[in-house]
Structure 1
Amino acid sequence: MAAVKSADPHEALIKALPEKPRGRCIVVGAGKASAAMAAALEAAWPEVDLQGVVVTRYGHAVPTQKIRIVEAAHPVSDAMSEVASMLMMEQVKHLNADDCVIALVSGGGSSLLALPRQGITLADKQAVNKALLKSGATIQEMNTVRKQLSDIKGGRLALAARPARVITLIISDVPGDDPQSIASGPTVADSSTAEEALEIVARYGLALPEHVLRVLNTPRAPVTAAEIHDDIRLIATPSGALAAAAGVAQRMGYTPLILGDALEGESAQLGVMMAGIARSVKQHGLPVKGPAVLLSGGETTVTIGDSGAGRGGRNTEFLLALACALKGEAGIYAIAGDSDGIDGTEDAAGAIITPDTLSRTTLDAIGMLRGHDSYSYFAARGDLVVTGPTLTNVNDIRVILIT
C-alpha cells in the first residue's frame, strides 16, 4: 500500500505543475490514472478555464467538472478508444503559441488511444493487439509496432497541437521510464522506425494481414523533438514506489533490498530465479542478511501457446512459480500485484503465498502453472489480493519477505 500511495496522482501532479497558462489550456490524456490526474488538475487550478478530453479504462473514471472523461477498453482497444482519439485531435486544432496543452499520460494508454493509419481499420488494430499480447513481446516492442500503425501515438498528438506548448505529465509504468514507451508517447518525439516494427513482427512470427504489412512498409517520417514544443515531466515512477515500500520495511525491522524496478522476462522463470535468491538470503545471508524484504518491479510476460490458457495474470503466474520452486520452504512469504489493481484482465491485483501455499490444497499447482491458470489456483485458496482500481499505475510490485 505504501508503494501505491507514493504514486497517488493528486499528490504527485501538484508538485509538477507548470506556471498557469496565459492563453487557453487544453487537457488531453490517456491511461488508467488519467481521470484521477484530470480531477487533481481541476482541484489545483480552480480558476483556470480548462477544457479537454482524457480516456481511461472502464471502471477507472472519477467525477470532473470541466474535463470530459471517456472510458474505453483495455488491453484491447474498442470503438470508444477511437472516439476518444478523434475527440482529442479535434481539441488541439487551431491553437496558437500562447495556448497550452497539458497531456496527462499513464500506463494503459496505448490500447485506450486508437486512431488507425489510413489503410487499416480498428478491427485490424484489435487483431494486431491481440497477437502482440499473446506473443510474449515486451511492452516496448508492442508499442513500437502500435506506433507505426497509429495517427495519434509516437508524438502525433503533439504535432497536431503546434504551435502551442505541450506539457506532458507522466506516471510511468514501463521499465526504464522511457517517455516514448509510456502509452506509446502520444506527445513525445519518437525514434522508433517501421523497420524495427517489421523486425519485431518477424521475430515473434505474427501472422498479420497483407494490407497491415503494406501499411508498415509504407515510409513515414518520425516526429522529432525539433517539430514539437514539448516539456516532459515524470511525476511518479516504479523506482519511487519501491523506495516507499523499502522505507516501510525498514521501519518494521526488515532489511530491504531493491533488486530493480525494470525486471522483465517470463513470469514463471522470474519466480524460479527469485526462489533461489530468497533461499540464499535465508541459508547464507546473501545478498542480504535476514530478516529481509526483497523488492522488485517491472513488467514480465506470459507467453501463451496455441492451446490457450486458463485464467491468470503475470503476477499470479510469478507467485505460483515461486511457490512451486520454494516447495514449502519455511519462513518465506510473498505478495505481488499490479499497482493499478488489475493483474492483466482479471479482477485481482495479484495474490499472496505462504509456506503452506502448496500443502493446503489438493490442486495440481504445477499442472495449473503449465496451463497458465494461476488465478484459479489462488482463487480456490482465498489468497487473491483484490483492491479494485487504485487509479494509478507504476507497474508491478513484488515483495518477498524472509523471516
Structure 2
Amino acid sequence: MTEPGDLLRRLFSAAVAAADPAVSLAQHLPEPPRGRTVVVGAGKAAAAMARAVEAAWPGEISGLVVTRYGHAAPTRRIAVVEAAHPVLDQAGEAAARRILDRVAGLDADDLVLCLISGGGSALLSLPGPDLSLADKQAVNRALLKSGAAIGEMNCVRRHLSAIKGGRLAAACHPARVVMLLISDTPGDNPLDIASGPTVADPTTCADALAILARYCVEVPSAVRAHLESGAGESIKPGDPRLGTPDVRMVATPLMALQAAAVLAEHEGVRACILGDALEGEAREVGRVMAGIALSAATHSLPVPAPCVLLSGGETTVTVRGSGRGGRNVEFLLALAAALGGRPQIHALAGDTDGVDGLKEIAGAVIAPDTPSRAAALGLSLTESLERNDGHGFFEALGDAVVAGPTLTNVNDFRAILIV
C-alpha cells in the first residue's frame, strides 16, 4: 500500500473522475427529434455537460447553460454563462430569463435537453412575482448559516423562484423534455437537484414558511407576504404541462464512492461504503465516524484493517463562530478531536466540486500527528471547531486539499483509512 495521504488523495481523484460528464453522459442521450433540439441547464457541471453533449450529438443543436464563475468549459454551439454561487447575483438572474426565452414557443416535435447539476439552485436566481433579487439574496444567506438540511433549503428556494419547482419544464410545453442529471443530493431526488426546475413539486408555501420558522430564519417582509399569499406555489404533480418525466442520472454520489472502492481494493485495502446519503451537523457526523473508525482499528468491525470507510452525502454547518464554515473541514476537525491522535487512522473529506462552502478549497486531510502538529503551531482542534474555522486550521497546517474547479458535483466525499 502506498503512503496513506497519497492514497487518500488518489481515492478522491478517482471519485471525481467517475462523475466527469465526458465519461458517461453520451450513453444517456435520446434519439434526435423531428424538430429542433434545444439545450438548457444550470449547475457547477453544466458547462462540462454541455461540452459532452456537443461532442456526442449527431445533429443541429443550440442552447444556453449557466455555471459557477471559474467553471466554464469551451463550447461552440451551446452558450455558457457564468454566475455567482452560493450567493445569488444579477448574472444568474439574467441567465435564467434567457433560458426561459430559449424554450418559449417550442412545439411537440421539438426536444429540450435539460442539463441539471448541483449548484443550479443558486445559479438560476430568477425571483418570483413581487420579489427582488435582494430579497432572494437575503434569504439564501440566512439559510446557508441556519443549519437547515439541503432538502429544506430547496423547499424554500422553490417557492421564491420563477423557474424552479417545475416551472422550467412547464415553460417547455409541449416540447419533449429529457432531464440529464448529476446528483449532489442525498437520495438523488430530482426535486432537490438545483431545486427541481424540471419536475413537479408536492411541497407548498406553507411548508416553506414552517421551515423558516423551525430555523428562526428572518426574511424580508415581501418574502413573507409572497409565501403567505400563496403566490409562490410551484408546479404540482399531475400538471398536464409536465407529461411523463424522463429523468436520466448521468452521475451520482454512489457511482463516485464505488469508483474509489475499486481503486482501494486494487491497492489491497478493503473498502466499506457506509452510505451515500449521510446528513446532519458535520461535527456530529465526524464524532460518529470516529467511533466507527475506532471500532475497525480495535475490533476489526465493520471490517478489519487495512480498510477504508467511504461515505457521501451532504452535512450541514450551523455557523456560530467567526470562521468561514465548510462542512468537510468541520467534519474533519470533529473527527480528529474525537480520534485524539489515534495511530493507524488517516482521513480525507472534500467536496467533489472543488469548493467546500465559501472557500476555493475542496477539503483537507488528517493524520495521527494532526493534533500534535497543530499544538506546535498554537492551534487547537476544539477551539477551531467552536469558531467554525476549519479552513484556517488546515491552511495553517498545509493540509488543505485543493482540486480547482472539477466541473462536476456529486456532493461530499469522505474516506477514513485504517492502516
Q: 1:349 aligns with which of 357, 362, 368?
A: 362
Mapped contact 2:201–2:234 kept (Cα < 8 A):
no
Matches within 5 A, 1:3-402: 3-45=15-57, 47-219=58-230, 220=233, 222-225=235-238, 226-229=240-243, 230-305=245-320, 308-361=321-374, 362-402=378-418
Q: CA deviation at 1:222?
A: 2.8
C-alpha deviation, 1:191, in angstroms: 1.3
Deviates more, 1:11-20 or 1:127-136: 11-20
RMSD: 1.1
Counterpart CA distance in 2 for 1:41 and 1:222 is 28
Where 2:173 maps in the other structure, the secondary structure is coil
Instruction: Give, in whole Å, the separation in 2 of the partners of 1:345 and 1:279.
Output: 31
Residue 227 of structure 1 deviates from its aligned partner by 2.5
Unaligned runs of 5+ in 1: none
| Structure 2 contact 317–325 (Cα < 8 Å) conserved | no
> Can you list the C-alpha shifts for 1:86-133, whole angstroms capped at 9, x where unaligned?
000000000000000000000000000011111110000000000100
Aligned to 2:82, what secondary structure does the other structure show? strand
Q: How big is the shift at 1:364? A: 1.9
Percent of matched pairs sharing the same residue: 58
Per-residue CA distance 1:207-258 (angstroms, 9 max, x = gap): 1122211101122363335431331111110011111111111111111111
- Name the SS of the counterpart of 1:234 in structure 2: strand
Whole-Å Cα distance in 2 between the matches of residues 311 and 90 of structure 1?
A: 37
- Note if contact 1:156-1:223 (Cα within 8 Å) is conserved in structure 2: no
**Given the two structures, how large is their TM-score scaled by the length of structure 1?**
0.97
In 1, are the aligned partners of 2:166 and 2:234 still within 8 Å (CA)?
Answer: no
| 2:135–2:222 contact (8 Å) kept in structure 1 | no
SS at match of 1:398: strand
Give 1:15 deviation, angstroms. 1.2
Name the aligned partner's letter for residue 58 of structure 1: Y
Q: CA deviation at 1:311?
A: 2.8
Q: Which residue of 1 aligns with 2:5?
A: none
Any idea what SS the aligned residue of 1:163 has? coil
Q: 1:335 to 1:159 in 2, by over 3 A?
A: same
The secondary structure found in structure 1 opposite 2:108 is: coil
Whether contact under 8 Å (1:192, 1:222) holds in the other structure is no
Unaligned ranges ≥5, structure 2: 1-12
Distance 1:368 1:131 in 2: 22
Deviation at 1:312, TM superposition (A): 3.7
Answer yes or no: is the 8 Å Cα contact 1:30–1:113 preserved in 2: yes
Instruction: Tell me if the contact between 2:159 and 2:234 (Cα under 8 Å) persists in the aligned partners.
Output: no
In structure 1, C-alpha distance between the alignment counterparts of 2:273 and 2:242, rounded to whole Å? 37
Q: Which runs of 4+ in 1 moved over 4 A?
A: none
